[in-house]
Structure 1
């Protein structure tokens, strides 16, 4: 895979500019209108190159290029801007092939003195592009856009992904914006559009999605291609443990925080005939109990493995330091809290049972609401092409660890030759986790057969294709599984 920058794109004329330009050519145009010409905005001027194919553009040339065509008589060619804003090249005395039709960044020179380049920010953005798999080919285009000094700009790029039967194309639109308080720019997100190739060289209708960045463990260019192709990838996510609301010992709801759990209990107390209610945390640890009217009551069950976590800041120390103390019972825990808050550097105190937080206190020993606990976990995710979010993008389907997908087990269920070599096995597993369609060798009846496989967490198996990419096998190993799928996804570094 090689990421290539898209052709040079300029800011196209507005409808008002177009009408003003076309007015003199209309029969009903009056003289006053006919003498007035549309002016280019400063943003439009900075987006247009100063030199194209060695030819220096004047102000009139830029005007002609944007609104009509820039004709170069001595070279017998002209340039124009298409409906997407790309600069196009057309030869008048010979056919213009696809390789010459678009004007690319290597064909132009821009005025690099419009603004002073923030070298540190430039290097930071280049490093970010490499991390996302876009390589170095966008560096010049990035430098040009940064020196233009606009509040926002986009960079276009494309990549070809050959398959055994065709070639897929992905177009990327990377969106940058300038900080409101500094001269730093940030890459906020990118839109990836996949055009699946057909064996006859044609392409299917594009499938697109915007992928947000700077939210942790960002999706790379190749992973975006795999997701848009319908495959699953594994990413490290920040998982928030939910609280369970019980009514009469039966689970009725799962919520993200204690206030929502309290509100749910108050609602149930008005309509339900349950004799009591409770809030449970992870591993079925009881956090709080309530009577039939929704009034909080002391927890009656015996507490086991109680521990207090004392969070404080030491002098001359910038970091938080958490010190654990084992306690025998709730009475001992309350007494320990009273002792610990005498330390003026106390930040907070958390009481846990078997490692699960059941109460929290501020620096003065006052009980406060528990905050949701978060942990990092490897999760599988794919796009749900049947559902979209409020922004019009396909939602994620996410399969957490407790969904039960075991990639090792799924791979071992197939007679894959590469599993016999530790290095090849490691490469295969790593490739499947990134969502790749991986070539393998199947051993059947002592004969070798080429095939392709992809991870299929939804069915707890592998998706198997033959050497011509025809689907052979996609079936759940165990259809009777408790559904631990979550359609939300929060990434984390």
Structure 2
């Protein structure tokens, strides 16, 4: 077994978010000297379950194995169907991590450094389009670069968020949103704090606000009595133009091809 290759793969698994629990299975499969093999992984994000199949293939010109792609399937607790997508490990597609894959499958966007076909680096938001599929059965991955016009920091800064007043917390908030997370924040209004959750939607150039129970706040929705009307106005950020994300049900798309 090529020890250097094994160490490289274990580090790749770790930094892609699959941890260190697959090392033994990885070694067993490499020692079998098969041209290709798969490993299975399961985890939970909150109440949601993620199942992944990781694909490894040996080079036709050496004994090196490569971790080229993984298929993740999201099973949300409050829904009776699953959604799957193949994520490829290369600079053109952004080297998506497991947590980022979860966020994408859950309808959110992630901000990645990408490599164009001409070999130039650029930054873009990635977001799945659940209404369109590619020939291999994947969902279409939309790219929103700087020319698209979504300025995350400007959009978030328009909200009365307490964490924005501290440089460290501000940086952490922006970094979390760029990874596609739905982030807890505190809104300030007349000296009082109110807990909300926010996420960004580059497709609609918007920040989406959720209440403390993670129910989406709509324009004109009646808020709790103790929340001031000024705060109510502040959270109306294009929410009337953003449709609910409908995760496809079985039978509404082609099967995944490997």
Q: Same fold (TM over 0.5)?
A: yes
Runs (5+) with no aligned partner, structure 2: 219-235, 242-258
Q: Does 1:432 align with 2:177?
A: yes
In structure 1, C-alpha distance between the alignment counterparts of 2:45 and 2:207, rounded to whole Å: 21
Other-structure match for 1:134? 18
Q: Does 1:204 align with 2:80?
A: yes
Other-structure match for 2:49? 169
2:106 counterpart (229, 233, 243): 229
Q: Contact 2:91/2:114 (CA < 8 Å) preserved in 1?
A: no
- In the TM superposition, residue 175 of structure 1 has moved relative to its aligned partner by 0.5
Q: Does 1:154 align with 2:38?
A: yes
In structure 2, C-alpha distance between the alignment counterparts of 1:423 and 1:233, rounded to whole Å: 21
The two structures have a TM-score, normalised by structure 1, of 0.43
Deviation string for 1:117-175 (max 9, x for gaps)? 2211101111111221112111111111111111111000011111xxxx011001000
Other-structure match for 2:231? none
Other-structure match for 2:136? 391
Stretches of 4+ aligned residues off by more than 4 angstroms: none
- In the TM superposition, residue 386 of structure 1 has moved relative to its aligned partner by 0.1
3-state SS of 1:171 partner: strand
Runs (5+) with no aligned partner, structure 1: 1-116, 241-372, 480-493
Q: Does 1:178 align with 2:58?
A: yes
Q: Contact 1:459/1:475 (CA < 8 Å) preserved in 2?
A: no
Deviation string for 1:268-288 (max 9, x for gaps)? xxxxxxxxxxxxxxxxxxxxx
Deviation string for 1:389-409 (max 9, x for gaps)? 000010011111111111111
Larger RCO (alpha carbons 8 Å, 6+ apart): 2
- In the TM superposition, residue 210 of structure 1 has moved relative to its aligned partner by 0.3
In structure 2, C-alpha distance between the alignment counterparts of 1:392 and 1:476, rounded to whole Å: 32
Residues 290-369 of structure 1 mapped to structure 2, 5 A cutoff:
none
Q: Contact 1:239/1:377 (CA < 8 Å) preserved in 2?
A: yes
The two structures have a TM-score, normalised by structure 2, of 0.81
**Which has the greater radius of gyration?**
1
- In the TM superposition, residue 239 of structure 1 has moved relative to its aligned partner by 4.2
Other-structure match for 1:469? 214
Aligned residues: 222
